[in-house]
Amino acid sequence: MMFLKNAKIISSCGQRVILSRNNFLKIPKRNGYLVLVPEIGEDLPQKYPLLKEDKSIEFNTVTVEKCMAAIGKQTIEYEEGVRTLGRKLENIENVSPKDLFEKVLNPLEEMYVSLNITWGIAKILYLGNQSLMPTQYYISIHERARKASASRYINRPIYQTCKNIINNKEINLTNEERRILSKYILEGKLNGLELQNKEEELLALSLTIIEKLKEYSQKLKVATCQFNFVIKDYDTMREFPEEILKSMAQDAEKAHDGPWTVNLDPALMNPFMEYCPDRTLRWKVWDANVTRGSILHDKSVQTSTVLEEIRFERNKRAKLLGYKTYVDLSMETKMAGSLENVYQTLDSLLETACPAQEYEIKELTAFASKSGLEGVLQQWDIPYWSRRQLLHLYKYSEEDFRNYFPLPKVLSGLFELTEKLFSVKIVENKKVDVWHKDVRFFDIFDLKQSSTNPVGSFYLDFYSRGDEKVQVSQDVGYMVPIKERSKASNTKPLVALIFNFQPPSGDEPSLLSFRDVRILFQKFGHMLPHTLTTIDYAEIAGLAFVEWDAAFISDYFFDNWLSKPSLLRKISSHKDTGEPLSEEMIETIKNMKSHLSGYHLCKELYLSKLDLELYQSKEFWRNIMSRLWKKYFVIPQNKRDNHVCSFEVIFSGDFAASYYSNIWSQMIAADLYNAFEEVLSEDEQMIREIGSRYRKTFLALGGSTPTSEIFRQFRGRDPNPKALLTNLKLDVKSRMLESTREKV
């Protein structure tokens, strides 16, 4: 659900450590003028250019010029600092761990934390206030900061010193020190610092990959933009919710008058496929999506050749670095550890998910046929008839739930859950500068430590603001780290959570869809490992150096709480009556989670296996796709389906040989949540004890300990995929298929 793209480095490990926060969004192109500003500001404060004396952010006076000047000055100083500190280590054989940390790594961390603060502020302004940070400026800041921050991992003297110390068995290291050294060594290895006389070859390969990724991205962008379909008939749009109508209307003020536009942006395309009653139009949109970049379109936008070249060049680079395949290289940064372990887990999930899918498709086909579908159920029919079936079975639509989730009520319940589980107190602070009047700021206090000295803090920017904020899909929110916990820099964790929820209307608060509620819980969960870490080194605190496939565990852990009836009642209150969700509505929410869960999990398993096989074998992509499809889907593959050509996230996107990471995190999260389900819900003391254990492990330890070890500390065993299958009710559906077969 991430490779460093600059001329000198394409690091697999850098994916997680560096790019988890550096490549956290795709930057849309916007029209405008680029104004040149000074790159180095001579009058800027030395250490924290955009902070006040108390180290709080001075948003009231931050300008794009200040950000550009600060990042220019800091990146130059950072890169020079890396070179200077590296030179101190040259020709010195026996550097002690104490000297390495005190004289090299800690000063590096101080500079890194300072650079990240400016970088984080720029990200916030880009996402939250485009008038203060237009896209062109942010692109410049982002690329410059990313290149500078990576320079510490390609310094040979620092790399060699770390290696010498960790290989000396007579030296005693703390767990944290060992992990930091391991990080520098792994990053150095994946950036080619172990190669002898092949540096030029590695550089040439890296440059080639960069060019191929750029070519693929440009072709796919053009192919995507070519489809833009206008609808003028209101009968086609009659079933669409108000908010979706507004987003598709050419004039949002006349959402019911039209015309309406649909394109291949998931924010528009996905709801269109769910609500459009016209089968022919659904097919047209589906076909445009799955044929993007294929040979069915003009040669100038065909991606097949370039994606094959990307596969080849990445595997070539992996072999140069000493790995059998690019997938083997990728496993260096994964909790799973090996391809064999990944395949074994995915196959175990498929064993139950596939018969569950077969049962679901049979039921959906029967319902659709009775409700007017003529002919065979096809891929482009599933989103529409799935929504209709869900409404038929459980009587409630997404809009019905929106009236029950006023934002203040949801937020209060989320805070209460967090405080109960982890013995913290979340308190709003209204004396802090913010980038917009709607933004709120909160401190987190550890109840066992201090009620006046917070352990971490966060901003909340909830509402959409038209063109002022970056427009994103309804299923996306952002967590932007600003400050890391660092003893060397004397900084505490600070992050920003940014969403695009419906703003309040008059005296009526913002009303969230249940999808919005899930996004809020997930992103809040993603924030907690950063803000509640107890590790004092920024290099391994929070989500830094956490394996990719473990990065979203806390997201899904919090999401799982939304199946708990007592919590759903606590966070719900009808906007008019104040009544919480009824038992029937709570049951519907639980059923919504498992509706077509077999089909959706099989799809994710298929894409995960497809990604891994593409980067493991030399077989042509179409042959791999056709072979795997038969194993994972009940519905036959359509001959026009060329979705691999637009599988952007594994080519020019962030998850090459890593797509399975999302499923892996879901699996771990389900197993962790199951620990709470195993105790009686009314046993508050036991729940608090388990919550305390979760905080001491998954929230506190960050990247200081391998996640597999952290899991064993919490659960006392290795992960089991059964919890996810039960969570999605796939075991029940699989048995129901067997039952129907027996009757036949």
Summarised one tens digit per residue, pLDDT across range 367-401 is 999 999 999 999 999 999 999 999 999 988 878 89
Distance of CA 264 to the CA centre of its chain: 21
Rg value, the chain, Cα: 26
Q: Choose among 400, 383, 408, 390: nearest CA to 501.
A: 408
> Do strands 456-463 and 494-501 pair parallel, antiparallel, or not at all (unpaired)?
parallel
Does 651 score more than 80 pLDDT? yes
Average of per-residue pLDDT across 556-577: 96
Give the containing element (helix H, strand E) for 180.
helix 175-190
pLDDT (0 to 100) of residue 53: 85
pLDDT (0 to 100) of residue 236: 94
Range scoring the smallest mean pLDDT among 37-46, 280-289, 518-527: 37-46
Pair 661, 549: CB distance under 8 Å: yes
Q: What is the C-alpha separation between 514 and 521, in angstroms, rounded?
A: 11
SS3 state of residue 425: strand
Q: How confident is the model at residue 34 (pLDDT cuts 50, 70, 90)?
A: very low
Average of per-residue pLDDT across 163-177: 95
For CA atoms 352, 353, 359, 363, the dihedral sign is positive
Tell me, letter by letter, the H, E, C secondary structure of 440-469.
Answer: EEEEEEECCCCCCCCCEEEEEEEECCHHHC
Q: Is 170 exposed, middle or buried (0-12, 13-18, 19+ CB in 10 A)?
A: exposed
Round the average pLDDT of the chain to a whole number and report it.
91
Summarised one tens digit per residue, pLDDT across range 668-696 is 999 999 999 988 666 889 999 999 999 99
pLDDT (0 to 100) of residue 683: 81
Pair 69, 44: CB distance under 8 Å: yes
Count Cβ atoms below 10 Å from residue 36 Cβ, excluding itself. 6
Summarised one tens digit per residue, pLDDT across range 81-140 is 999 999 999 988 889 999 999 999 999 999 999 999 999 999 999 999 888 899 889 999
The answer for residues whose C-beta is within 8 angstroms of residue 23's C-beta and 6 or more apart is: 2, 146, 654
pLDDT (0 to 100) of residue 203: 93
Q: What is the C-alpha separation between 188 and 182, in angstroms, rounded?
A: 10
Q: How confident is the model at residue 270 (pLDDT cuts 50, 70, 90)?
A: very high
Q: What is the C-alpha separation between 653 and 546, in angstroms, rounded?
A: 20
Q: How confident is the model at residue 584 (pLDDT cuts 50, 70, 90)?
A: very high
Tokens of 140: 């410049």
Does 21 score more than 70 pLDDT? no
pLDDT (0 to 100) of residue 93: 81
> In this structure, what DSSP letter does residue 105 have?
I
pLDDT (0 to 100) of residue 14: 34
pLDDT (0 to 100) of residue 264: 95
Does 349 score more than 90 pLDDT? yes
pLDDT (0 to 100) of residue 3: 29
Does 2 score more than 70 pLDDT? no
Q: How confident is the model at residue 8 (pLDDT cuts 50, 70, 90)?
A: very low
- Global confidence as pTM: 0.92
SS3 state of residue 686: helix
Summarised one tens digit per residue, pLDDT across range 484-538 is 999 999 999 999 999 999 999 888 999 999 999 999 999 999 999 999 999 999 9
Average of per-residue pLDDT across 171-197: 95
Calculate what percentage of the chain has a pLDDT beyond 70. 92
